[in-house]
Amino acid sequence: MVLLLALYVSLLLLIIPSIIIYKLWWIPLHLQRVMESQGMRGPSYKFLHGNTKEIVKMKQQTSTTAMDFSHDIFPIIQPHFYSWTKLYGDNFLHWIGTQPEIVVTEPELIKEILSNRDGTYPKRKVKGYFKQLLGNGLVLAEGEKWLRLRKLANHAFHGDCLKDMIPAVISCVETMLEKWRNHEGQEIEVCNEFRLLTSEVISRTAFGSSYLEGRKIFDLLLKLAVLINRNMLNIRFFGFEKFTRTQDDIEADKIEQLLHDSIMKIVKRKQDEVRKGRADSFGNDFLGSLLKVHHDTDPKTQISAAEIIDECKGLYFAGQETTYSLLSWTILLLAIYTDWQDKARQEVFQLFGQENPNSEGIARLKTVNMILYESLRLYSPIIVITRRISRRVKLGKYEFPANVNVAIPPLALHRNPDIWGQDAHLFKPERFSEGLAKATNGNATAFLGFGFGPRTCVGLNLAIHEAKIALSMILQRYKFTLSPDYVHSPFIILTAQPQRGVQIVLHPL
């Protein structure tokens, strides 16, 4: 018996290292050779870490280098993608630890990936902090669950529901501008102002909750986003994370519980209002739509309390973060290019005079729309769109195995001189004077401000409406110029943001 046990242990000691070497060395090198034979190259795989150490080093170098005032931010915030596309071509293979990732910047291939007609390119599976941030809601769900949740969200953010949100958005902007009166003729930092504005808008329009409740949730989500950013390239091996807990892991668990409690407080209050007769229904906002389905008698359409929380977290974060980024960068651009600021103001006065924006006029804001598109092109809030390959597939001239991740960097598309011309890095809203299709020369995926395909951002219409209303009301009251204190330092906390804020000087009209 002892002899058999010793033999068994000896075999394990021989087999386990062989399995490890096979999975962590031979398989990556084999895939690398296969892709090279098809014409796709990339940085060499390094044992265990892949290319993460190279990526960290590149990012550290660009983060400590003072940036000249340029809108070509791609080499600064994604130096690895920029360098490797220059070195290896439009599409290349690199490694996040032992996980292969294909970076694709070729528009036709991107169109096929994001269209995902046969389900070959689902959302990437996430875990850890990302899972705590987004749960398994609309952002990450697949199949029937995604269809069900998408239908609910489409109803909440389109048509008459969207029109009904306009007064609430106007009220939120008026509150912000009332504070601005104390800074007339002075410098004001607008990023924090827009962060508060967008958190209040999404709180009121989607959840019927107070500004203070919304701000608490956003602060928690931002803390979780910082943890994600800090740990994104940390590689843990062999499932050891299940047995070892870092300080960030403990902090993330606390944040997740606080988020759960904060959202459930809003949910329970809305349920109590209906149960006690203070409200006839759960309402038509996003949370109301979720609660109606939660209380549905049909178990096939019913969603759980956990799913409600996941949906709320995802929408709170996505609904606030992208619009805040869009407004911040747009104000920066208009503070620099005051001729376009004057053109936009003239259009706003022609449509609204001194009155608040209305839905008919918002739809006719052509110049403002052009400016917003150009801001999204130069400073896209979404810096990478990710998918995974679920099964062996042929894409263009390449054949990929299953379980390979795909990364699409919009900034690379938005600066492609073959699409946008040699002045692609310049601010020129006139590109969009004849519409998006004309501006992109018919390349549907050349502009990815809000994604593409069936999973285009569900809050697109709300974000654009909110940005148009805020810009219109600011332009009606102020001219503004860029403060000499502004320092151009774009950086990433999941979305592209001005690291040191945007300082402008307000000049009342």
Buried-exposed string 260-282: b where 16+ CB fall within 10 A, e elsewhere = bebbeebbeebeebbeeeeeeeb
Separation between Cα atoms, residue 94 and residue 55, nearest integer Å? 10
Long-range contacts of 223-226 (CB under 8 A, 24+ apart): 223/251, 223/255, 224/129, 224/132, 224/133, 224/252, 224/255, 224/256, 224/259, 225/133, 225/317, 225/321, 225/493, 225/494, 226/493
Tell me the DSSP string of 126-168: --THHHHHHTTSTTT--HHHHHHHHHHHHHHTSHHHHHHHHHH
Separation between Cα atoms, residue 101 and residue 99, nearest integer Å? 6
Q: Which two tokens stand for residue 14?
A: 């021989």
Residue 498 forms beta bridges with which residues? Answer: 490
Q: What's the 3-state SS for 240-291?
A: HHHCCCCHHHHHHHHHHHHHHHHHHHHHHHHHHHHHCCCCCCCCCCHHHHHH
Indicate the helix (H) or strand (E) that contains 302. none
Separation between Cα atoms, residue 340 and residue 356, nearest integer Å? 21
Report phi then psi at 301, rounded to 5: -105, -10
Q: Would the annotation count 457 as a binding residue?
A: yes
Q: Which two tokens stand for residue 268?
A: 């329970």
Three-state secondary-structure class, residue 103 = strand
Instruction: Output the known binding site.
Output: 457
Instruction: Output the known binding site for heme.
Output: 457
